[in-house]
Amino acid sequence: METNKKIYFASDVHLGAPGINNHRLHEKRFVNWLDTVKKDASEIYLMGDIFDFWFEYKHVVPRGFTRFLGKLSEITDSGIPVHFFTGNHDIWLFDYLENECGVKVYREPVIRDFNGKKVFLAHGDGLGDYDKHYNFLKSVFTNKFAQWLFARIHPNSGIGLANYWSGKSREKNNKEYGDKYLGDDKEFSVLYAKEFLKEEKVDYFVFGHRHVARTVSVGPGCQLIFLGDWIQHFSYGVFDGNTIELQYFDSHV
């Protein structure tokens, strides 16, 4: 990592979400952020739920997102690596972004060394055994046969059905969790991080998923970064070569 370069992290943009009033403005705001950070980025990590829904049929992908996809391609063509973690809303992302936009896709957590700092990276859903109901649903959604069955549905119906599920999931999560931090003893990500540290030392955990912009101490010399979202917080993480900090984007679109 060059001394004047930074590593950026963002999560939970939810492009195309039914509850967003102005989809073009929403997309342009995030694209403006990508335009801003590419100037000094050594790498960019998109940590899941960038799309509110995504499914790749054999010859069809969801309509829209042209500004975002074009910007991804521009950035990777310039030589800046972009890493894309699937979230619970874009879990059905297969090889389109890798082949067309040049990004690297991850479906499981990874641990990276950034200038001597050990960083655990994940979207943040389904970690450990804390949410057994969700883990069961995730096992269904990642099942190859279930994916094959869904692909048999015409895109007009399939994407409409998926948007309905997404809305119901959001209503349920807002009712149970909302966008408020629940406390160290109730946040599944915090509980998981503390258990993980008993077996292996890391300096940072970087998670999305919870739509909470917050830094939490989870052990001696270890912090968990909740990246927030791009619906209310417009927040992101920055590694400057020494520490990871939360920042907020002031867009003028």
CA 40/CA 4 separation, integer angstroms = 7
Helix, coil or strand: residue 130: coil
CA dist 156 to 60, 92, 94, 152, 162, Å? 11, 16, 19, 12, 10
CA dist 197 to 57, 224, 225, 243, Å? 40, 12, 15, 19
- Domain 6-248 bears CATH identifier 3.60.21.10: yes
Scan for tokens 């890798």, then name that residue.
98
pLDDT (tens place) for every residue of the chain, 253 residues total? 777 899 999 999 999 988 899 999 999 999 999 999 999 999 999 999 999 988 888 888 888 899 999 999 999 999 999 999 999 888 888 899 999 999 999 999 999 999 999 999 999 998 988 776 666 666 766 677 776 777 677 777 777 776 666 666 655 555 555 668 889 999 999 999 999 999 999 999 999 999 999 999 999 999 999 999 999 999 999 999 999 999 999 876 6
Query: Do 222 and 5 form a contact (C-beta atoms < 8 A)?
Result: no
pLDDT of residue 137: 66
Strands 235-239 and 82-85: unpaired
